[in-house]
Structure 1
Amino acid sequence: MTITRMSDLADPQIVQRLVLKVGSALLFGKGGVPHAAWMAGLVAEIAAARGRGQQVVLVSSGAIALGAARLGLPGGGRGSLADAQASAAVGQIALAGMWSQLLAEHGLIAAQLLLTLEDLEDRRRYLNAAATLGRLLNAGAIPVINENDSVATDEIRFGDNDRLAARVAQAANAQVVMLLSDVDGLYDRNPKEPGASLVPRITGVTPAIQAMASGDSGSGMGSGGMSSKLVAARIATRAGITLGIINGQHPDPVSRAITHDIGTLFLPTRSDRGRKAWLGGRQRMKGVLVVDGGCADALEHGKSLLASGIRAVEGSFRRGDPVGVRDEHGLALAQGLAEYSSIEVERIMGRRTEEHAVLLGYAPRSAVVHRDQLVLL
Structure 2
Amino acid sequence: MVAALTETPAAAFDPARCPRLVVKIGSSLLVDGAGQVREHWLAGVVADLAARRHAGQQIVIVSSGAIALGARRLGLDKGGRASLEDAQAAAAVGQVALAGVWQQLLGAAGLTAAQVLLTLGDLEDRRRYLNVAATIARLLDLGAVPVLNENDTVATAEIRYGDNDRLAARAAQAAGATGVILLSDVDGLYTANPASDPTAQRLPVVRALTPEVMAMATGETRSGMGSGGMAAKLLAARMAGAAGITLAICDGRVDRPLQHFAQSGGGTLFLPPRNARGRKAWLAGRITVAGTLQVDAGAAAALKRGASLLAAGVTGVDGKFRRGDVVAILGPAGELLGRGLAAYDAADAMAIRGRRNDDQAGVLGYAPRAALVHADHLVLI
TM-score norm. by structure 2 comes to 0.96
Report Cα offsets for 1:21-55 as digits up to 9, x if no partner: 00111111223111111111111111111121111
User: Are the counterparts in 1 of residues 19 and 178 from structure 2 also a CA contact under 8 Å?
Assistant: yes
Give the corresponding residue for 1:164: 167
Give, as a single letter, the amino acid of the residue that structure 2 aligns with 1:168: A
Matched residues in 1 for 2:125 and 2:143: separation?
27
- Structure 1: stretches of 5+ with no match in the other structure: none
Cα deviation for residue 77 of structure 1 reads: 1.2
The farther-off stretch of 355-364 and 334-343 is: 355-364
Give the corresponding residue for 1:198: 202
Out of 349, 371, 379, the residue aligned to residue 375 of structure 1 is 379
Out of 5, 16, 20, the residue aligned to residue 17 of structure 1 is 20
Out of 352, 356, 361, the residue aligned to residue 360 of structure 2 is 356
User: Are the counterparts in 2 of residues 112 and 143 from structure 1 also a CA contact under 8 Å?
Assistant: yes
Out of 270, 273, 276, the residue aligned to residue 277 of structure 2 is 273
Give, as a single letter, the amino acid of the residue that structure 2 aligns with 1:187: Y
Cα deviation for residue 9 of structure 1 reads: 4.8
Out of 211, 225, 231, the residue aligned to residue 229 of structure 2 is 225
The farther-off stretch of 220-229 and 348-357 is: 348-357
Change (3 A) 1:269 1:229: same
Matched residues in 2 for 1:256 and 1:30: separation?
24
The answer as to 2:244 corresponding to 1:234 is: no
Give, as a single letter, the amino acid of the residue that structure 2 aligns with 1:51: H
Matched residues in 2 for 1:132 and 1:211: separation?
37
SS of corresponding position for 1:305: coil
Give the corresponding residue for 2:157: 154
Give, as a single letter, the amino acid of the residue that structure 2 aligns with 1:56: I
Matched residues in 2 for 1:134 and 1:5: separation?
29
SS of corresponding position for 2:43: helix
Matched residues in 1 for 2:329 and 2:91: separation?
36
Give, as a single letter, the amino acid of the residue that structure 2 aligns with 1:347: A
User: Are the counterparts in 1 of residues 340 and 379 from structure 2 also a CA contact under 8 Å?
Assistant: yes
Give the corresponding residue for 1:104: 107
The answer as to 2:254 corresponding to 1:253 is: no
Give, as a single letter, the amino acid of the residue that structure 1 aligns with 2:92: A
Out of 73, 76, 79, the residue aligned to residue 76 of structure 2 is 73
User: Are the counterparts in 1 of residues 132 and 174 from structure 2 also a CA contact under 8 Å?
Assistant: yes
Matched residues in 2 for 1:302 and 1:15: separation?
28
SS of corresponding position for 1:294: helix
RMSD between aligned residues: 1.5
Change (3 A) 1:339 1:4: farther
User: Are the counterparts in 2 of residues 339 and 365 from structure 1 also a CA contact under 8 Å?
Assistant: yes
Percent identity over the alignment? 58
The farther-off stretch of 144-153 and 301-310 is: 301-310
SS of corresponding position for 1:142: strand
Cα deviation for residue 327 of structure 1 reads: 2.0
Report Cα offsets for 1:115-160 as digits up to 9, x if no partner: 1111111111111111111111111100000001111111111110
- Structure 2: stretches of 5+ with no match in the other structure: none
SS of corresponding position for 2:34: helix
TM-score norm. by structure 1 comes to 0.97
SS of corresponding position for 1:31: coil
Matched residues in 1 for 2:233 and 2:6: separation?
19
Residue correspondence of structure 1 range 1-377 to structure 2 within 5 A: 4-9=7-12, 11-192=14-195, 193-377=197-381
Matched residues in 1 for 2:151 and 2:347: separation?
35
Matched residues in 1 for 2:164 and 2:356: separation?
44
User: Are the counterparts in 2 of residues 3 and 14 from structure 1 also a CA contact under 8 Å?
Assistant: no
Report Cα offsets for 1:278-337 as digits up to 9, x if no partner: 111111111111111221122122111111111111121111111111122112212111
Matched residues in 1 for 2:204 and 2:9: separation?
9
Cα deviation for residue 69 of structure 1 reads: 1.1
Matched residues in 2 for 1:167 and 1:36: separation?
27
Cα deviation for residue 3 of structure 1 reads: 10
Structure 1 runs of 4+ aligned residues shifted over 3 Å read: none
User: Are the counterparts in 1 of residues 327 and 340 from structure 2 also a CA contact under 8 Å?
Assistant: yes
Matched residues in 1 for 2:138 and 2:6: separation?
26
Matched residues in 2 for 1:249 and 1:189: separation?
20
